[in-house]
Structure formats: structure tokens, C-alpha cells
Amino acid sequence: MDIENLVGSIADFNAEKFAQAAEELHYADLANVFEDLDDQGREFFTKNIDTARFSEVLAELPDTLIEETLERFPIAQQREILGQLVDDDRADILQDVSTSAQQRYLALLQPEEMEETRSLMRYHEETAGGRMTTKVARITQNMSVKEALDTLREEQDSAESLARIYVVDERGHLLGKVRLRDLAFSTWDTRVSSIMEEVDITILATADQEEAAQIFSKYDMTLLPVVNEYEYLLGVITHDDVLEILEEESTEDIEKMSGIAGEQSEETYLNTALSTHFKRRFPWLLILAMLAISSGYVMLRFEDVLSSIYLLALYLPMVVAAGGNTGGQAAAMVIRAMSLGELEAGTTRKVLSKEVCLGAMLGSVMGLCIAIVTMFILPLFNPQLPVGVTIASFSLAVSLALALQITSSTLSGALLPIGARAIKLDPAVVAAPAITTLVDISGMLIYFTAARAILHIT
Amino acid sequence: MDIENLVGSIADFNAEKFAQAAEELHYADLANVFEDLDDQGREFFTKNIDTARFSEVLAELPDTLIEETLERFPIAQQREILGQLVDDDRADILQDVSTSAQQRYLALLQPEEMEETRSLMRYHEETAGGRMTTKVARITQNMSVKEALDTLREEQDSAESLARIYVVDERGHLLGKVRLRDLAFSTWDTRVSSIMEEVDITILATADQEEAAQIFSKYDMTLLPVVNEYEYLLGVITHDDVLEILEEESTEDIEKMSGIAGEQSEETYLNTALSTHFKRRFPWLLILAMLAISSGYVMLRFEDVLSSIYLLALYLPMVVAAGGNTGGQAAAMVIRAMSLGELEAGTTRKVLSKEVCLGAMLGSVMGLCIAIVTMFILPLFNPQLPVGVTIASFSLAVSLALALQITSSTLSGALLPIGARAIKLDPAVVAAPAITTLVDISGMLIYFTAARAILHIT
């Protein structure tokens, strides 16, 4: 409703209606609308939006739009927008623009903001330090409740959340935490040190963002304090950061598991350029195609088997594909368990023995199904088999090959992600597409070898 | 460290060491340890744990363990554990036990707890109502700040979060919200109505949990109020619920996209029984194998083509597999964009035209690559081609088939999830495995038809 009003006002270049509609909307909606506009629409949007409002919108925009959008504003407004940003958003934004723009934008900041932003920019975007905000509510242990409340009241706008208030010593080392309710409901002369609780869980600024998200969701945290190796309190990670991390990491897993390469686009699927989509899909496609020629080569080498019993072609794609499917399932299970932090080092043997059992179970049941289908249904079609080959021996060859292919593929599906992790690769890159291609080769080999041996093809 | 102490104390049946280690640990860690114990270990654990502590542990256990674990306690302790649970956890737990246990456990509760639990149990576990807690901080608009603080102080333990305090009228309708800091930092005679803010975003109790998670992460919410159709405030969803929802939904997507059926196990990968893993992987495996026989049938029907130019076998797996890979990529992109709420109705045409372009781009570049490889590298191996077929015409047939297969598979990969959603199926079920199997069939058809037409095989 409001969104439609906004879009309509931009189409009509109606500044008054625009200002009204923009005021009612959430910044996330404003950012969505902005992203979908054409150049003229964006020009109108940036001319007419309340500058103070726009810093929130800017923080929601995809990386690729940041610089060109900021450049639409005169310098005074750039200064205002950058000044209004929350510190972690500001550091993120400055990490995403060109080096020359970065210098220019930094120079627009107040000296202390500049210092703070620079120090945040030292951390890689995907670490706890890169995600944290330094706007954390801090009090010291010698304060009374009254002093603490006064301090917080003065600084309330500089803390992103008062859900937890951290107690530090004079040099900034983390000592404990209190909740605002503990302060609000205590008598004013109570010492902070007497109501503060211990902080059990912290994270190092250099830790991976995925670790922060895992800690957050495992321990149902509200805020996660970020420290350096001397337990000096640097900042906090808030729950909206964690939602973003989880979304990013899930997208990354799904994309990698589908053979999509490169960094994920911050833009929506529809707004991402064709060339970007192309660049991310092409590399794996080419690598896998080259690998798949090996399967063809195996098929070529077994010409004699296929030409003496061409009926083998009926089950060839099925046996080969079943390996890809079971391998893909096993890989997905193992990769997901790894992402959820369930598989630490030392569990490899358990995983492999589990998957070997499962593979053997799936393989034998599937083999049995196909043997039955072949024994009872195939004869109805009067298949042509060479002398010396019976329906029974044909069924045996096919179902044995299927069982072997499923068992070995299940094992490969579990083994490859674990192996990838061992050599510090992301396990997700060896999911379905890579596994399917690899077990296609083994499937061809298993199928033709079983047929040749059991059906005595010379 | 502490976890090792705990595990050691259980192995030694050392009650004193156990009590000490358990006290130091977070309930999430206790639950993890408990889940990994054998029957004897669990018996020792439940005998020696502080009962008050155990309700938090119980809420973290997988569904399948709830009832057998509660049954280890005498009735008086069952009552204590159930009484200590947060209301939404209690309702979840009671939804997961057998009907007879459900009645017994409900009867152990205080009358008002029973009433509250029953009303929460009316909502399906995967709706906003099923996820919410009714323990929300409520004040009325006519209170002064002092009265509001007094009310909150009295009821502070009954509210799960004071991050937002909701203002309701006498009949419980949602009017607005205040933050604890607004109360703590206002003078005591200020009216609540003068400092309260509007609540823009609420969710209906009957809405899907995924919608709640999307709103939460889109709008950076702290708490999401849950209402009925009359704007009566029923409860709130907290950020730890949202983390759980996101984790569940991502796991569900990844599993479905890998051909794993049925409800996800609440137990860890390693603790899930072999039979459960088997039951979830077998159905799709069987369906896809049956479908794959169609590919074999196509291959069988084109015996003449393959036997007149057996060299075609070299590229057959590659052309077929390339379709599965591009189709899988397109499907993953579209499915993920849907989960993130990016593709609303009306965007179908845009998606399809995007994917047709991409498919054509990928297809023609890949076709070109293969044509070059074939023209320049294949001759080095002195391939045997029948009279009338040149390396050039062979290359043309193969690369044209590849280009067509990639283009059509990319389109299918995008179309199938959209189609699935249109008929109210979960789009994720038609991801890679289903698409690969389907485009295997089209790939065989395209490949052999192109070969027959271009290479004039009669």
C-alpha cells in the first residue's frame, strides 16, 4: 500500500507525495524500492529524500550500488549521511567502495569517527571483528547504580543495544555484565560490582563470522561480546548481524552445492546482471564437462560389451545416475552437519562407517528392486539376448552393478567433503555436481566390468 | 575443558564431580552431552542433575528423547521440570510426546499453566503462534512511568524479554511499544501514552514461521509481536526462535534439494538412527531410478545411431550431464531467491527470460569450446568415422546438441520450481536430483536426434 504510493510518486516525480510516503516506510522497504529504480528514478529519490533517513537506506543497499549512490549527493550531504551511519555499517560501506572514494569519504568524517572506522576496517568483513559494532554500553565496576544509569542516559544514543550492559575495568578489560532491568529495579546506591554477572562466552575479533553465528544460536545469546586476546572489550555482535550471517552462509552453501562459483551477489536474483550470473555458473560447467568426457572414454573402451548385449543400454543411465543421487544425498547430509558444527575432527571414522552401512543398505534394497523388475517384467517385452545370456544372469549383472555403484558412491559422497575440509577447502564445493560427475565415471566402469565378468563377454 | 570434566564424571559415576561440572556448564552443552550418553549414563545424569536446571536442558533435547527422558524422573520432579519450562518450550515439548503422556503431563501443571499451554498447543508448531511465547511485558497506556516500572518489576520474571515493552488497552489490544530505557530515563510522572511509539509490524498467529523469520531479518526486529485478527496481543517471537527457524528452514531446503525426503531429524547427524537415514533417502532414490530407465529406453531406441558412429559415446555422458549441471544451477538460484522472498508472483516472465538468455549464453559458449576441442584435438587420436562423416560435421552435431541441451535444461531448471510453487508444492523438491533425471531423458533425445539429422544416419 505505502510501497505502491512511493513507487507511484516516483513515477510521477511528485516530490510532496514522495516525502510523505517515504516517511511512513521502513528503511528496508525504501532500499528495496531504490534498488529496483532506473537512473532517473534514483536521481529523483536521492534529491528528495530526507538525508538523515538515507543513511539507514544506504546501509541496506548492495555493495555495487554504494559508491554510485553516494556520488549522487553533494559533499555536505555525503558528510551527513556518512556521519549518521552506525559504525559497523560505515566500516562495511567503506570497505566496498573504490580506494579513491574510500579516502575521500574518510576525510569527510570527524577525527574520532575516522579513527574508529579505520580500526574497524582492519578486520576482514567476514570475521567477528568485521561484524561487530563498537557502540556497546559500558560501565565500570566501581560505579553505583545511580552513576551507571546517569552514564547510560548520557550515552544512550551511542549504544546499539542496552540488552546487555558490559562492566569493564579502567583499562577496558571485560569484567562482567548487567541487564538494564537489574539497574532499573535496584536501589540507586547499590554497587555495580555487587549485581554484575560473569561473562562466560566471548569471541575473538579475528574469529570467523560463522563461528559467531554458531555460538549465538547454540547458546541463545542476546549479544555476543567481541574481545582481543587480552580480554579487552572491543565491541558486540547483535542478533541482526547474526541473521545476516546465517542468510549469507546458507546462500553460500546452497550455491556452492549447486556448482555456482565465486562470491554471492548482494543484489537480488533479478537485479544481478546477466554477465555476473554467467561468470558464476560457467567455470564449474566447463570443468565438469571436461571431466565428463572421461565417462565417455570409458564407454568408448567398452564398445565390445555394449555391442554384444545392447540391452545393457536400458539400465546404463539408471545405474550411473543412482550413484550421483546417493552420493549427492550423502554429501548434503555431511556438509550440512559440518555447517551446523556437528562433525568435529575425530568423527570421520564414525561418519564413514555410517555411510558405508547406509550405502550397502540402499544398494542392496535397490539392487533387489531392479532384479525383481528385470526378472518379472523384462520377459514380457521379449528382449533379444545373445546365446548363453539368460534373463537371470542379466538381472544379476545389472543389480550387482547397481548395488556396488550405490555403495561406493555413498561412501565417496561422504568422503569427499571430509577430504576437502582436511585440505582446507570448503566442503560444499564437492557436493552434488562434482560428485555426480566423478561417480558417473566409476558407474560406467562398474557397470561394464560387472556385465563383462558375469555375462562372459570376451 | 568443563565438558570433558562432565563426561569424565559420568564415566566414573562420580556424583560430586558431576554436580560441580554441571553447574558450570551452559544448558546447551549439557543437552549435547546428554544426547551422546548411553542408557546407563543418562540414568546417572538424570539422578544427579539439579532438577531446576534440567528443564532448560530438556527444552534443547531432540523430540524423540523427550518422553523417555521425562519418564526417568519421579512424578514430583516431572511436575517441577514441567513447571519451570518457558511456556513456548513447554507447549512444544507436549506436542512431541505420546497422547497418553501429554494428558499425564498436562495434569501435573497448575491450572493456569495448563490453560496457557493448551491454548499454545492449538497452533501448529511451524506457525508464528506455535513459536511465540506469551510471556511478554505488557503495560497499559494510562499508567505513569512509575506505575509501569512497578508493574514490570513485579512481573519481571514472567517476561522473556524487556527489550520491547508493549502497551495494550484494558482488553488487551496492542496500542504501542516503549523501550525499557525510555522508562528508565524518563521522570516517574510521565504518562506511558506520551512516550509510547507506534507498532508498525506485527504478524498473525496463524502465519507460517518462515514468514516470521523473513519479517524479522528484513526489518532488523528485536521482538516480533504476534496478534490475532482483532489486533489482540497474543505473544512475541524472540530472536532465538528466529535463529532456530532459519536453521530449520535452511536444512530443509538443502535436504530437499538433495533428494532427501521426510521431516528433518532433530537429532544430530551422528545420533540419527541408520533406519531413519535410510527411510529419508530411499524414496527419491527409487523414484529417480525408475525415471532414469526412460533415459535407457531412449538410448535403446537409438541403437542404430550409436552403432553406426560409436564415437558418439565419447560425448554422450558429457552432453547429458551438462544439462543436469546447468539445470541444477538455475533451480538452486531460483529456489534460493524464492526462500529469500525475492520472487513474488508476477516475476515469472522476468525469471524465465533471464534464464533463457543465460542458457543460450552458456550453451553457445560451451558448444563453441567443445567444437574447438573436437576440431583440433580429436584428429590427433585418429578416430574412426564412417564414410560421409567428417570431423567437422561430427563437431557440429555434438556442439549443437550440447548448446540445445544446456539452453533447454537451464529453462527447465528455472521453470520447474516456479511450476511446483504454482501448484503449492515446495519448490525445493524439484531441485538438482529431479531435474538431472528429467533432463537426462531430454539430453539423450536431443543428442541422438541431432546426430541422426546432421550426420545423415538412416
Are A342 and A434 within one domain?
A: yes
pLDDT of amino acid B404 = 94
pLDDT of amino acid B311 = 86
Are B316 and B232 within one domain?
A: no
- A365 chain-B contacts, CB cut-off 8 A: 282
In a domain, B136, yes or no: yes
Write the residue in A184, A293, A361 that is nearest to B180 by C-beta: A184
Residue B119 has phi, psi (to 5 degrees) of -70, -35
Q: Where are the alpha helices (DSSP H) in B257-347?
A: 274-301, 303-308, 316-339
Tell me if B332 and A292 make a contact (CB, 8 A cut-off).
Answer: no
Residue B206 has phi, psi (to 5 degrees) of -85, -5
Q: What is the DSSP string of B149-202?
A: HHHHHHTGGG-SEEEEEEEE-TT-BEEEEE-HHHHHTS-TT-BHHHH-B-----
CATH code, domain carrying A446 = 1.10.357.20
Residue B266 has pLDDT above 80, yes or no: no
B177-227 per-position pLDDT tens digit: 998 888 888 888 889 888 898 888 999 999 998 889 888 888 888 889 999
Distance from the B100 Cα atom to the nearest Cα atom in chain A, whole angstroms: 31
CATH code, domain carrying B43 = 1.25.60.10
Are A176 and A118 within one domain?
A: no
pLDDT of amino acid A12 = 87
**CB burial readout B268-298, b (16+ within 10 A) else e:** bbebbeeeebeebbbebbbbbbebbbbbbeb
- Judge whether B320 is closer than 8 Å to chain A, CB to CB: yes
Write the residue in B268, B297, B328 that is nearest to A314 by C-beta: B297
Q: Which amino acid is at A178?
A: V
Contacts of A186 (CB under 8 A, 6+ apart): A145, A195
Count CB pairs under 8 A between chains A and B.
Answer: 338
C-alpha span between A76 and A56 (Å, rounded): 17
Give the domain range for residue A31.
2-126
A412-433 per-position pLDDT tens digit: 988 888 888 888 877 777 677 7
* Average pLDDT, integer, range B115-133: 87
In a domain, B431, yes or no: yes
Percent of chain B topping pLDDT 90: 15
- Judge whether B303 is closer than 8 Å to chain A, CB to CB: yes
C-alpha span between B337 and A229 (Å, rounded): 39
Distance from the A218 Cα atom to the nearest Cα atom in chain B, whole angstroms: 6
Chain A residues 140-179 with CB within 8 Å of chain B = 149, 152-153, 156, 161-163, 179
Select from A109, A126, A143 the last residue of a domain. Answer: A126
Percent of chain B topping pLDDT 70: 98
pLDDT of amino acid A430 = 67
Write the residue in B163, B246, B332 that is nearest to A260 by C-beta: B332
Selected for mutation to probe chain B from A277, A305, A351, A410 (highest B CB count within 10 Å) is: A277
pLDDT of amino acid B408 = 94
Residue B226 has phi, psi (to 5 degrees) of -105, 130
In a domain, A145, yes or no: yes
Are A95 and A218 within one domain?
A: no
In a domain, A332, yes or no: yes
In a domain, A181, yes or no: yes
- A315 chain-B contacts, CB cut-off 8 A: 293, 296
pLDDT of amino acid A407 = 94
* Average pLDDT, integer, range B333-346: 80
Chain A residues 398-457 with CB within 8 Å of chain B = 402, 406, 431-433, 436-437, 440, 444
Per-residue pLDDT tens, chain A, 458 aa: give them. 678 888 888 888 888 888 888 888 888 888 888 988 888 989 999 888 888 888 889 888 888 888 889 899 999 888 999 888 888 888 888 888 888 888 999 889 888 888 888 888 888 888 999 888 888 888 898 899 888 888 888 876 666 677 788 999 888 899 999 988 888 888 888 898 888 988 889 999 999 988 898 888 888 888 899 999 888 999 999 888 888 888 888 888 777 777 777 777 777 777 788 888 888 888 888 888 888 888 888 988 888 888 888 888 889 999 998 998 899 888 888 888 887 778 777 788 888 888 999 999 999 999 999 999 888 888 887 777 777 888 888 899 999 999 999 999 999 988 888 888 888 877 777 677 788 888 999 999 999 999 888 887 76
Are B33 and B62 within one domain?
A: yes
Are A335 and A448 within one domain?
A: yes
- Judge whether B258 is closer than 8 Å to chain A, CB to CB: yes
pLDDT of amino acid B447 = 92
C-alpha span between B303 and B312 (Å, rounded): 12
Tell me if B285 and A259 make a contact (CB, 8 A cut-off).
Answer: no
Tell me if B254 and A253 make a contact (CB, 8 A cut-off).
Answer: yes
Could you give the count of Cα atoms lying within 13 Å of B212 in the half-sphere of its Cβ? 34
Tell me if B243 and A246 make a contact (CB, 8 A cut-off).
Answer: yes
Tell me if A270 and B343 make a contact (CB, 8 A cut-off).
Answer: yes
Are B161 and B24 within one domain?
A: no
B130-142 per-position pLDDT tens digit: 888 888 888 998 8
Are B41 and B65 within one domain?
A: yes
And the C-alpha cell for A417? 567433503
Tell me if B257 and A260 make a contact (CB, 8 A cut-off).
Answer: no
And the C-alpha cell for A252? 553460500
Total of domains in chain A? 3
**CA-nearest residue of chain A to B292?**
A318
Select from A111, A126, A141 the last residue of a domain. Answer: A126
pLDDT of amino acid A156 = 67
Residue B265 has pLDDT above 80, yes or no: no
Tell me if A307 and B311 make a contact (CB, 8 A cut-off).
Answer: no
In a domain, B229, yes or no: yes
Tell me if A433 and B328 make a contact (CB, 8 A cut-off).
Answer: yes
Residue A358 has phi, psi (to 5 degrees) of -60, -45
Classify strands B233-238 and B223-227 as parallel, antiparallel or unpaired.
antiparallel
- Report helix, strand and coil shares of chain A as percent, to nearest 5: 65, 10, 25
Residue B406 has pLDDT above 90, yes or no: yes
Select from A77, A105, A126 the last residue of a domain. Answer: A126
- Judge whether B370 is closer than 8 Å to chain A, CB to CB: yes
pLDDT of amino acid A410 = 92
Are A204 and A351 within one domain?
A: no
Name residue A145's beta-bridge partners.
none
